[in-house]
Amino acid sequence: MADLIVGLSAERVAANLRRVRELISDAGRDPDEVQILAAVKYLPASELPALARGGVTLVGENRAQQLIAKREATGDLFVWDFIGALQSRKVRDLVGRVRYIHSVDSDSALEQLRRHGTAQTEVLVQVNVAGEAGKAGIAPRQLPAFLARCPVRVVGLMTMPPLASDPERSRPHFARLAELAAHHGLRHLSMGTSQDFVVAAQEGATIVRLGTTLFTGAA
């Protein structure tokens, strides 16, 4: 497990946030159309106020219990999304605590959403666009039936492409997700992380999930 990030600088976060927006603009997108989500898995709750001082308003956590604890510790500083692998037994804990759940991809999760979801519950469906064996996400061909079974509002799609050192290798996977979202009339595309968010933005991302790019170094 990676070490926790401590000693966060609000000034560095602000500078990195500006740089990310500049890169998105340089890529031909309106930065106001691309939400920058800070992935805080490796930030302790005590570091989160520095994110807020640096201008971050949207955060995501990979673990339900950590999300609950960090949300309680920070009050109204942030909008929270859940971005990690979704265990169906955690759905009840997340409903009402997050804006979006980004990673719905199983019938067991749909059943829990049927039991515990509300009219306000909104989710993104995770799609395994690349067809990687053992990776989370439904197959593209399963998407129409999965959307039809979902008992709550689906606002978009999410994907994690195969790990690659060259961001361009992610482009066809991002483009395919954008095609699927457009075909089904879905607004949001949650795709792109610190290493490939510029390519994701070019292919239509509306939410990019950034960690170290915001926290530690120059973007």
Contact 133, 111 (CB under 8 A): no
- Other Cβ atoms less than 10 A from the Cβ of 164: the count is 12
CATH of 10-213, one of 3.40.50.720, 3.40.50.300, 3.40.190.10, 3.20.20.10: 3.20.20.10
- How big is the chain, counted in residues? 219
Q: How would residue 219 be classed by pLDDT, with cut points 50, 70 and 90?
A: very low
Q: What percent of the chain has a predicted confidence (pLDDT) above 90?
A: 94
Residue found under tokens 């997108």: 29
pLDDT at 134: 86
Structure tokens at 7: 């000693």
pLDDT at 64 over 70: yes
Q: How would residue 6 be classed by pLDDT, with cut points 50, 70 and 90?
A: very high
62's CB contacts (< 8 A; 6+ apart) are 39, 41, 82, 83, 84, 85
pLDDT at 1 over 80: no
Q: Quick: pLDDT tens for 168-209.
A: 999 999 999 999 999 999 999 999 999 999 999 999 999 999
Domains in the chain: boundaries: 10-213
Distance CA 47, CA 67 (A): 14
**Helix count (H) and strand count (E) of the chain?**
9, 8
Q: Quick: pLDDT tens for 40-62.
A: 999 999 999 999 999 999 999 99
31's CB contacts (< 8 A; 6+ apart) are 21, 22, 24, 25
Give me the phi and psi of 66, to 5 degrees please: -70, -35
- Other Cβ atoms less than 10 A from the Cβ of 42: the count is 16
pLDDT at 217: 66
- What's 103's DSSP letter? E
pLDDT at 123: 98
pLDDT at 59: 98
Q: What is the mean pLDDT of the chain?
A: 96
Q: How would residue 140 be classed by pLDDT, with cut points 50, 70 and 90?
A: very high
Q: Measuring CA to CA, how many Å separate 183 from each of 149, 177, 188?
A: 17, 10, 13
